[in-house]
Amino acid sequence: MSEHDPSPHDRSHDLSINRRDVMLVGVAMTGVTLVGFGETTAATPSAPVARPEMNLTIHFQVNGRPIEMSVDPRASLLDVLREQLDLTGAKKGCDHGQCGACTVHVDGRRVASCLTLAAKMEGRAALTIEGLTPADGPLHPMQQAFIDHDALQCGYCTPGQIMAAVACVQEGHASSEAEIREYMSGNICRCGAYVGIVAAIRDAAVTMGG
């Protein structure tokens, strides 16, 4: 080692970062904020908040009623139905379009409302379980069939099951048990009431003319 080479001890002081710098970088990467000696607290990420000027005004129908409202362009139809229109029949299950609990009809076709942007509803018509029958009228044949065949247990998925079942009949896919199971496969019942659901659909299909 020449006389101009710093010793290993001296060389350590030439490093651009030290132990404290490393800790601060690590803390920043993990989202933890240092509060005091030996204390940490999890940093709370700020949720994106839509500014009022970013909202969209849409015009559509829900259960035959004309609606004009301002919506966040990122909001799903499910969230608008539940949180802004107080129509809580459609349920939030997986929120990824995989369980069918949020099924409603849009322009006569069943959709997963959790995957449908509310902003896309301009000029369209939605039907939810609340609008399937008049408030003072008899139950829809499918609703009655679900009761008659004990096609529910906890009931959480039942509104989505019924809306999908009505569509299944209207689409002409209720001619056999195998066909019903195929076209209802997007709706999950965690209680396992599938036997009753299939029986209810076959029964209601006769009354509905399917």
CA dihedral 159, 78, 191, 98 (to 10 degrees): 120
User: In the numeric block, which tokens belong to residue 167?
Assistant: 């569509």
The number of folded domains in the chain is 3
Domain assignment of residue 99, yes or no:
yes
Per-residue pLDDT tens for 12-55? 444 455 555 544 445 444 444 434 434 444 445 555 555 656 89
Domain assignment of residue 88, yes or no:
yes
Chain centre to alpha carbon of residue 204:
28
Nearest residue to 91 (alpha-carbon basis) of 128, 126, 61: 128
pTM over 0.85: no
User: In the numeric block, which tokens belong to residue 125?
Assistant: 């018509």
Instruction: Examine the fold and report which residue of 131, 157, 192 is the final residue of a domain before the chain moves on.
Output: 131
Domain assignment of residue 79, yes or no:
yes
CA distances from residue 133 to 4, 64, 142 in whole angstroms, order as listed: 92, 11, 11
Give yes or no: residues 147 and 198 share one domain: yes
Lowest model confidence (mean pLDDT) among 24-28, 30-34, 108-112, 134-138? 30-34
Contact call for residues 139 and 122 (beta carbons, < 8 A): no
Instruction: Examine the fold and report which residue of 71, 99, 131 is the final residue of a domain before the chain moves on.
Output: 131
Domain assignment of residue 136, yes or no:
no
* Residue 200's CATH number: 1.10.150.120
* Residue 63's CATH number: 3.10.20.30
Domain containing 25 equals 8-42
